[in-house]
Structure formats: C-alpha cells, structure tokens
Structure 1
Amino acid sequence: MKLYTDQTIARDPLPTDLDMNDEFKSAFDLMENTKECLFITGKAGTGKSTLLKYFKANTGKRIIVLAPTGVAAINVGGQTIHSFFRLPPKIIRKDTIKRLRDKSLVENLDMVIIDEVSMVRADIMDGIDYALRLNRGRMKIPFGGVQMVFFGDLFQLSPVVENEAKELMEELYPSPYFFSAKVFNDCHIRAIELSTIYRQKDSSFMELLNRVRNKEYAQGDLDTLNNRVQKDTAISKKDTTVILTTTNRLANTINQDRLSMLPGKEITYEATATGKFEESAYPTDTSLKLKKGAQVILIKNDPAKQWVNGTLAKVVALSNDSVVVDINGRTCDVPVVKWQKIEYSYDKDKDKIEDEVVGAFAQYPIKLAWAITIHKSQGQTFDKVIIDLGHGAFTHGQLYVALSRCTCLDGIMLKRPVTHRDIIFDRRIYEFKGRFASLF
C-alpha cells in the first residue's frame, strides 16, 4: 500500500477560479462583520460549501465548524455536534446536558458554524442553545451570545427521527426540522439564499428543476422527464454511466454484481484507523475490493489537481500497494489518503482556537461507482446519470437531488417513469421559507 505524505492528507483546497460574486461577498461580509444569526442556503450547486471553506480560511473570528454526522464533520474539517457538546444519542432535554469539563473553549467562541443543518433535529438545536448558555454563564441570551451560522438546503437532506422517538418529538415540536426549535422564539434568523448555479448551464432544465423543487411542476414537466425513460434492454451492463438508487442495498447489489462479472484477480485493500475515529465516520470501505476494469469514483480532491471529489474513473492497473486509474484518457496513480478527525481546543496564550487531531483513517480515496445512492450523491456533479427510483422516492426532496446531480436534461436516463408520488413535498419547509421570504 502506497504510504501517504503530508501532501496527501485529505483536505479540499479552495478552487483557484473562485467566483467572488456580489451575493458571495455580501454573505461573507454579514458573517465577518455582524453578530447576526444567519441561515445560508441555496439550491444544489450554488457554492454553499465553497463559501464555508473560504470563510473558514479567511475569517478573523474564533470559530468552530460542527456537523450532524461523522462523515459530514470529516468532510468539512470539523467536529460532530454530539461529540463537541457531549450530547447523548437520544432526544435531547435540558436535564441530559452537562457542563463541559473545559469551558474555556466555549467561553472564547465568537461563532459556531453548523453545516448540513437540514439534518439537525429541533431538539438538538435547543440542546446546542442550552449547552452554550450553560457553559458560557449567559442563561438569558440565545446561544449564550455566540453568533450562529447555519449552512444547508432544506430541500435536500432531512433530519432522521427513529421510530421510537417520533411520538415524543411530535409532542415537543411542530416539526423535526431545526427551525422548529424553541430557541428561535427569541432569536431572529436572517436567511441568505445563494442563487448563482454553477452546475447546470441549461436554463430550461434549471427552470424545470426549480419547479420540481418547489412542487410547482405541471404534467408537461413530467412528460419532459419521462421522455428520458430507457428500457432495461437499452441500458447495457457495459454502460459506464453511474446509476443513482434510492437504497444502499440496491447500489451495493449492482456494484458487487458488476465487479463479479469482471475477469481477473480481485485485490482487497485494508484501511487503517487510529485514535478516536468511529466506524460510522469512515469515508470509504475498510476492506476495499477492486479489479482491473472496475468503475470507481474518487472521493477527495487531488492536491495535484488531476481529479476532484466526484470524478469517475476506471481501474487500469492494480498491485498490492498501488492503484492506477484512467480518467478521460489520462493515467493517474492514486495515493492512499489520510482523513483526520479533529477536536477543538482553546490556546489561552495565543487566544486562538486550535484543531487537535484525535484520530485518522487511511485508505485509497476510492469507491465502486457503477451505482451510488441518491443520498450519497449529494454534492456530486455528473454529465450523465441513470436514475433508478425502484419502488419510488420515499423522502422529501429525493427526486430533486437525483435530477440535480446532472448538468443537463439530455444526460439523464430514467429506468421507469416519474410519477406524482415520487415528488414528495413537506409543506412545513415551505411555511418556514414563507415566513422569511423577504429575507431570501
């Protein structure tokens, strides 16, 4: 296995062609020069992640970045909400929140950024509020006086509420979404919607996507989409177009089926995990099985800029300690990458918040990619996709996410027609957006 160097530690550098448009500058200015509570949102492909990374690299404020899941935290170079605040894995109540052993970090915070806020339940948001009040000794001020900045798209990922918690959540909150938290009765959110779309350039396709997103579509829109239906016989198993599925089971079945069809020796690459790197946060397989000819997706930007996160490739050579892929006719040697798990600490002498590495995971930044789930495709961009809705979309925004992965309508193939049932609409999100319409 090829060892990583400092240059192959998994970081996503800022794009060199960063577009500092007016809305980007305005959002940065509000984050840097005000203390307002901000919700930064936008359709798929509008640069939310780029803005977050840019702010993190250029702010003069003492900030931490948190996320609801281990994978999301690793991707943004932050810490999970639960690990930072020591929250229990259940419905959060005030009596479940404890004082932190070292309060100096929280006491010296200027800002908390929460990424993928659409996945954060209302009770967790109230838990964050109470934990900050408690540990900063400012019980009467929302979030203990810390500026909060939320990034996410409510039309994409939704919060997960386990079956056993649904009844209690329904008693406590009007919805599971973060904006239903009680803290927002006393804390005004200013919402900023980034609107410049960098993924799609086809204006008619962008308009269709927007109608699907807002459930303002007409039968003609379904007809347009369903013109993209291809019979199974027309989709060859030799087709390299990535298949988007609604479930992990279907994606795994397709990938293992395609891998088994390839001739030649299968090689397994074992990851190494050290320190406090939980299995739930592993960014790829611990036992990565590959063959020559396998279709894969690269899941981290290359510092040498040979590929970006989401690039599709074909394995052209394997040995026990190397993986070589073909990317659009270019041969690239893929190194092992180290992902780091960090926790935050406060350096009193420097008056600075430091990132402390507490765990690491090393593996080739590769996944099999004949098929991936719609959920895991978020943030990716493809020129062509096959969308397999199986028994149907089952959660708010799922169809929109699948369609919006593609750069143009002509690049989409559907395995079955889209129906009205596949366009799932949560009115509570539209009611929230309506309350803050003047701010978007």
Structure 2
Amino acid sequence: MLAELIEAASLIIWDEAFMTHRNAFEALDRSLRDLLSLKSAQSATIPFGGKVIVLGGDPRQILPVIEGGNRAQIINAAITNSPLWNSVTVLHLTQNMRLRSTDLTDSEKTELADFSAWILNIGNDNIPAIQKPGEMEPTWIQIPSEFLLLPQEDHISALIATVYPEITESYNDPTYLQHRAVLTPTNEIADLINEHVVDLIPGTHKQYLSCDRIASQSNTGGTLDLLYPVDFLNSINSNNFPQHKLLLKEGVPIILLRNLNQSEGLCNGTRLIITALGDMVLEAQILTGTHAGKKVLIPRICLVLKTNKNPFVLEGRQYPIKICYAMTINKSQGQTLSQVGIYLKKPVFTHGQLYVVVSRVTSKSGLHILIEDEDGRSSNETRNIVYKEIFNRIPMNVDATTS
C-alpha cells in the first residue's frame, strides 16, 4: 500500500529538513529510485526517482543532533553536504505574513518588523559579540533590557509568575495553556520547572512508574544485569524518552514523544491537556493543530533508548509523554507561542538554539528572558552559537524577514 501511495504521489513535502541527518536524506533517495525504477528504468538515475521533493526549513535553526558530536561532525551531517544538494533549487521566503495582518496598526507593524530583524540578526550572527578567555571565537552577546527579567531571588517562581499568571485559576483552560511555555536548553532544568508548576496546581498527584530493563540482544549471558541494577536504569534521562516517575494531575499539559496515530493527530510533538487519569490509559484533549479539542486515549507503550553513553539498549514501558509547562529548546522547534519564557540557567550549546528559542514567540511583548551568570545572579549576557559554514552552500537572503 505504501509503495502504491508513493508511486501515485506527485509531490512530497519534508518539513524541518535541516534537522535531518544527510544519511536519512540519501536513504530516501535510494528507496525511491529502487521502487520507481521497477516501472521506469530511467528513475534509477534521477534524484528521488524523479519525484518532486519540497524541503521546508531554515539553516539558522538547529542542525542534526549528533550525540557527543563536535562542530565538524554536525556540519558534515547536514543535508547541504550531501551530493543530492547539487540537485536542490533554493527558494527564499521573503514576506513576513504577520506584517500583512490587517489587524495591526502602522506602529505595531514597525515594531514587529524591527523585532523580526533582530531575530534574523541573531540567526545570521550579526549581533556584536565578545570573546571570553579560553574561547576560540566571540559568542557572547547582550540581550536588550526590554526582554529581560531581572529578579533578585527565586528566579524560577518569578519566571513562572510572568509566563503563567494566575495559574491556579486557569490551570485547566486549554486556551490559556496552548499559547505559552518556558523554554530551556536542557532536560534537567525543564523537569525542575515542570515539577515546580505541577505543585502549584490544585488536586492530588497520581504516580506512574516505568518498567525498565536491558534489552536481551545487548545483554548476552545476563552479565549486564549485575553491573547495572534496575535503580540505575530508572535514573536514565534522555531528551526524547519519558521519565521513570511521572507525577500527573488533571489539567496538566503534556507533549507526545512518539507518533501514536498520525491520522488522529497523535504525532511526536503534539501538545495535549490531561482530562482524566486512568490505571491503564490517560485521557487527554489535543491543544493545537487541526485536531484541537479532540479527546483521545494514550496507552503505555514499549520504548527503546540507545545512546553512546551506555553499553546497552534500554527498554522501557511507559506513557510516551512529558509534562510541558517547560520544554527543551530542541523540542520546541516547530511550536508557535504568544508567551515565551526563556530560562538560560546555562547558555545554549549548539548552532541555532538561541535563534530558535527567540523565534518561537509571535510578538515582541510575549518574549521574557531570564539569564543567570556563573554566580547564579540575573544577567543580560548570553551565548549565541552560529556555525557559519552551513551557509556556504546556501545563497542567503539576509535582508529578508522570516515568514
């Protein structure tokens, strides 16, 4: 059935293409050539078998994630370094669709245009930067004061109060939740903020524990069971893997970590709000997209985690979700929000992260940035990492505003 669908398709759209490893890009090319050459021998010699592929994406955004990879490895994994890139025609989006809104006044359009230009300057590394001792290049920039939160103490509470005002009254309102989030570079900080907010929500917790084990194919003879007890397996935390212990309440927003049923809107990255906590399934309401408002059931599923950090494959049975009052910058790519709190307890660590996080917001007034220095005090200085090599094979229209 899939082969017939591919043969009948006249157009294939691939969104967020710059996040994809070039190996996946090239694997699709070979698969399409093999499939389509059965009916037309010429298809074996044409990129993607002659199918038209539209790649959507922004090279200023996050590049393929290479665990433990250095700058050269990340750049090499980008699709621009694939031989297939020679067949790509680059088209620029130059019209900011928000500026064309008839609901905006002239002053609001000017403000939005200036804000969009500032975001692009971050993405293009055109913001003046300084170099700190021991660093190879200048990466530290100053954030304008109009975006900064500068609390003297209890930074997390101040940030939550700004992004989620009156949370105890509006905690189960989908309209209130769908347009706001706190974004951070790492899972640990996101989990800390999520726990803090859940404690503020009325109601009692319900606890869901995962069942973790070492996959049999990586545990020959059972020797790894002796070296890595269950308590250690339960402590493993990864970017796209649910926590061992989920403490949930009704009204808590969650984000899916796997594709469950794409036709029903249950895709990786879908945000939902929990409406009921069962023993075997969770009932939730979809917050965004074409299926917004629809109630669905989420089951526990078997998940597999393989990383370079561990000499085994971890198998876990858990709900494929994370609480998403706060989420990582990488996970937020593709989200559009009206109120964004950025918590930079630690600075960003790879290409495009700062550009992605400031471009999630739809307006200047909705951006709130809290930066901490090495001493834990509020600051106005943070890192902006841009690998300019990625632009070498892309004719950049640096004056265009993003659409």
Question: Into which bin does the TM-score normalised by the smaller protein fall?
Answer: 0.5 to 0.7
Within the candidate set 383, 393, 396, 1:422 is matched to: 383
Match of 2:342? 387
Partner residue in 1 for 2:66: 161
Q: Output the amino acid matched with 1:210.
A: L
* Distance of 1:107 and 1:334 partners within structure 2: 33
Q: Residue 125 of structure 2 corresponds to which residue in structure 1?
A: 215
Unpaired segments ≥5 residues, structure 1 = 1-63, 65-83, 85-102, 272-279, 304-308, 340-361
- Residues 44-67 of structure 1 show CA distances to partners (whole Å, capped at 9, x for unaligned) of xxxxxxxxxxxxxxxxxxxx9xxx
In the alignment, the residues of structure 1 paired with residue 48 and residue 399 of structure 2 have an alpha-carbon distance, to the nearest angstrom, of 24
The residue identity in structure 2 corresponding to 1:336 is: V
**CA separation of 1:269 and 1:409: change in aligned 2, threshold 3 A:** same
3-state DSSP of counterpart to 1:415: strand
Q: TM-score, normalised by structure 2?
A: 0.56
Q: Which runs of 5+ in 2 are unaligned?
A: 38-42, 100-107, 130-140, 166-180, 211-237, 265-269, 300-317, 372-378
For the residues of structure 1 that align with 2:397 and 2:203, how far apart are their CA atoms? 58
Give 2:31's aligned amino acid.
Answer: A
Contact 1:226 1:418 survives alignment (8 Å): no
Contact 1:154 1:429 in 2 (8 A): yes
TM-score, length of structure 1 as denominator length: 0.52
Deviations 1:210-256 (A, max 9, x none): 2112212247x835157613224465366226421101121112212
Corresponding position of 1:228: 148
Does the aligned pair in 2 maintain the 1:121–1:176 contact within 8 Å? yes
Change (3 A) 1:290 1:334: farther
Q: Using the alignment, how far apart are the partners of 1:158 and 1:181 within structure 2? A: 14
1:432 aligns with 2:390: no
Structure 2 residue aligned with 1:250: 189
Per the alignment, do residues 310 and 336 of structure 1 end up closer, same or farther by CA in structure 2, a change over 3 Å counting? Answer: closer
Post-superposition Cα deviations, 1:282-330, rounded to whole Å, max 9, x if no partner, equal 99889863236x6536779xx9xxxxx768x7x8x866599799x9xxx
User: C-alpha distance in 1, partners of 2:189/2:397?
Assistant: 39
Does residue 265 in structure 1 map to residue 186 in structure 2?
Answer: no
How far apart, in 2, do the equivalents of 1:437 and 1:381 lie? 22
Identity across aligned pairs (percent)? 25
Residue 69 (structure 1) aligns with: none
Distance in 2 separating the partners of 1:366 and 1:105? 31
Structure-2 separation of matches of 1:212 and 1:400: 6
Judge conservation of contact 2:121–2:127 (CA < 8 Å) in 1. Answer: yes
Aligned mate of 1:111, from 2, 8, 11: 11
CA RMSD of aligned residues (A): 4.9
Pair 1:291-2:291 in alignment: no
Partners of 2:363 and 2:383 in 1: CA distance? 20
For residues 287 and 333 of structure 1, the distance between their equivalents in structure 2, rounded to whole angstroms, comes to 27
Secondary structure of the residue that 1:376 maps to in structure 2? helix
Q: Secondary structure at the match of 2:150?
A: coil
Shift of 1:376: 1.8
Q: CA-to-partner distance for each residue in 1:152-207, whole Å, 9 max, x for gaps?
A: 2222231123458x79x96xx9732112111233x242424263243996422222
Partner of 1:402: 357
Could you tell me how far 1:423 is from its partner in structure 2?
A: 1.1
Partners of 1:322 and 1:334 within 8 A in 2: no
Amino acid at match of 1:379: G
Give the Cα separation in 1 of the matches to 2:15 and 2:400: 20
Identify the residue that residue 45 of structure 1 maps to in structure 2. none
- Residues 251-273 of structure 1 show CA distances to partners (whole Å, capped at 9, x for unaligned) of 112212443465642135799xx
Is 1:336 the equivalent of 2:291?
no
The 3-state SS of whatever aligns with 1:193 is coil
